[in-house]
Amino acid sequence: MSDYLNKILSEVKAKNPAEPEFHQAVQEVAESLEVVLERHPEYRSAKILERMVEPERVIMFRVPWMDDQGEIHVNRGFRIEMNSAIGPYKGGLRFHPSVNLGILKFLAFEQVFKNSLTTLPMGGGKGGSDFDPKGKSDNEVMRFCQSFMSELYRHIGADTDVPAGDIGVGAREIGFLFGQYKKLKNEFTGVLTGKGLNWGGSLIRPEATGFGAVYFAQEMLKTRGQDVEGKTFAVSGFGNVAWGAVIKINQLGGKVVTLSGPDGFIYDPDGVKGEKVDYMLKLRSSAKDAVKDYADEFKVEFFPGKRPWGVKVDVAMPCATQNELDEKDAKTLVDNGCVCVCEGANMPTTLEGYRVFENAKILYSPGKASNAGGVATSGLEMSQNSMRLPWAADEVDNRLHEIMKRIHETCVVTAERFGSPGNYVVGANVAGFLKVADAMLDQGLV
- Residue 91 binds what, of ligand 2IT, ligand NDP, none (CB under 5 to 8 Å, by partner type)? ligand 2IT
Cβ pair 71, 143 in contact under 8 A: no
Smallest separation (angstroms) from ligand 2IT to the CB of 113? 11
Which of ligand 2IT, ligand NDP, none does residue 204 bind (CB under 5 to 8 Å by kind)? none
Using CB under 6 A, which of 180, 378, 385, 414 touches ligand 2IT? Answer: 378
**Shortest-Cβ-distance residue relative to ligand NDP:** 239
Specify the residue, 128 or 254, whose C-beta has the smaller distance to ligand 2IT.
128
> Among residues 190 and 254, whose Cβ is nearest to ligand 2IT?
190
Site residues (vs ligand NDP, CB under 6 A): 92, 96, 98, 165-168, 209, 237-241, 261-262, 284, 289, 319-321, 344-346, 371, 374
Report the alpha-carbon distance of residue 14 to residue 407 in Å, rounded. 34
Residue 90 interaction partner, one of ligand NDP, ligand 2IT, none, beta carbon < 5-8 Å per kind? ligand 2IT
Q: Does 88 bind ligand 2IT (CB under 6 A)?
A: no
Q: Where are the beta strands (DSSP E) in 229-271?
A: 232-235, 255-261, 264-267
* Beta-bridge partner residues of 65: 73
* Beta strands 232-235; 315-317: pairing state: parallel
Task: Looking at residues 161 to 180 of the shown chain, list those that interact with ligand 2IT (rule: CB under 6 A).
Answer: 164, 166
Q: Which of 108, 104, 191, 129 is nearest to 155 (CA)?
A: 191
Identified catalytic residue from 126, 195, 255, 368:
126
Listed ranges 138-146, 258-266, 330-338, 372-380: which one lies at the site for ligand 2IT (CB under 6 A) = 372-380
Q: Order the strands of the 124-129 sheet from edge to edge.
A: 57-66, 72-83, 124-129, 89-95, 161-164
Residue placing its CB nearer to ligand NDP in the complex, 278 or 442: 278
The set of residues, in sequence order, having a beta carbon less than 8 Å from that of 400 and lying 6+ positions away, is 204, 208, 211, 212, 215, 373, 376, 377, 380
Q: Is 346 in the site for ligand 2IT (CB under 6 A)?
A: yes
**Which x/- pattern, by CB under 6 A, does the window 252-291 give for ligand 2IT?**
----------------------------------------
- Residue 370 partner contact from ligand 2IT, ligand NDP, none using kind-dependent CB cut-offs of 5 to 8 Å: none
Q: Is 126 tagged catalytic? A: yes
Give me the helices (H) in 55-170, please.
Answer: 101-117, 138-152
Q: Between 37 and 117, whose beta carbon lies closer to ligand NDP? A: 117
Quick check: 42 and 15 in contact, CB under 8 A? no
Comparison of 311 and 382: residue with beta carbon closer to ligand 2IT:
382
Q: Does 23 engage in binding with ligand 2IT (CB under 6 A)? A: no
193 binds, among ligand NDP, ligand 2IT, none (CB under 5 to 8 A by kind): ligand 2IT
Which of 244, 407, 375, 378 lies closest to 317, judged by CA? Answer: 244
Of 43, 129, 131, 115, the closest CA to residue 82 belongs to 115
**E strand or H helix at 237, and its extent?**
none
Min dist. Cβ of residue 284 to ligand NDP (A): 6
Determine the residue with CB nearest ligand 2IT.
Answer: 92
Of 4-12, 97-105, 374-382, 415-423, the segment contacting ligand 2IT by CB under 6 A is: 374-382
Closest CA to 411 of 227, 219, 134: 219
Tell the smallest beta-carbon distance from residue 195 to ligand 2IT (Å): 11
CB 119 within 8 A of CB 403: yes
171-203 b/e (C-beta count within 10 Å ≥ 16 → b): ebbbbbbbebbbeeeeeebbbbbbbeeeebbbb
DSSP state of 311: S
Question: What is the amino acid identity at position 116?
Answer: S
Partner whose footprint covers residue 87, from ligand 2IT, ligand NDP, none (CB < 5 to 8 Å by kind): none
Choose, by CB under 6 A, the member of 55, 77, 91, 366 that binds ligand 2IT. Answer: 91
Q: What pairs with residue 127 in β-bridges?
A: 79, 93
- Which partner from the list ligand 2IT, ligand NDP, none does 98 bind, CB cut-off 5 to 8 Å by kind? ligand NDP
Nearer CB in complex with ligand 2IT: 193/218: 193
> CA-CA distance, 152 to 77, in Å (whole number)?
8
Cβ 258 vs Cβ 317: under 8 Å: no
Closest contact distance (angstroms) between CB of 126 and ligand 2IT is 7
C-beta neighbour count of 214 within 10 angstroms: 29
Q: Which of residues 200-219 bind ligand 2IT (CB under 6 A)?
A: none
Residues that bind ligand 2IT (CB under 6 A): 90-92, 114, 164, 166, 193, 346, 374-375, 378
What is the set of active-site residues?
Answer: 126
